[in-house]
Amino acid sequence: PDLGRRFAERKRCADAECSMLMCRGRATRDFKGPDCRFVNFKKGEVVFVYYKLIGKSTELWAGSVGSDFGYFPKDLLEINHNYCKEELELPTDVSLICY
């Protein structure tokens, strides 16, 4: 299906608003995203995960580093703490928009 500005049709979250932390981890290497929808980080920085895209773009998660929020490849994160035991599957809205 045509996802338009979405990376995936569905996502997994800890709560219905996707506002609760799912997990946290440390970046295994530096990452600089292709545009402002992505969060940049350096190896060793703590990354907090709020939701995980599922379906077409299963490789992308959304989270924060400091006050910056955006998508990043899940393979660049070594999880060291899980905050939730159950995950909700929800439809995605429009992906983050660059201004």
Q: Where are the alpha helices (DSSP H) in 19-93?
A: none
Return the residue matching tokens 């995960």: 49
pLDDT in tens, 60-98: 999 999 999 999 999 999 999 999 989 999 988 755 555
pLDDT at 65: 97
- List beta partners, residue 63: 49, 70
Q: Where are the alpha helices (DSSP H) in 14-96?
A: none
User: pLDDT band at 57, cuts 50/70/90?
Assistant: low
pLDDT in tens, 6-28: 678 889 999 999 999 999 999 99
Among 86, 83, 20, 31, which Cα is nearest to 60's?
31
Taking CA atoms, 10 is separated from 40, 54, 60, 89, in Å, by 23, 5, 12, 7
- Which has more pLDDT, 30 or 35? 30
CATH superfamily of 14-87: SH3 Domains (2.30.30.40)
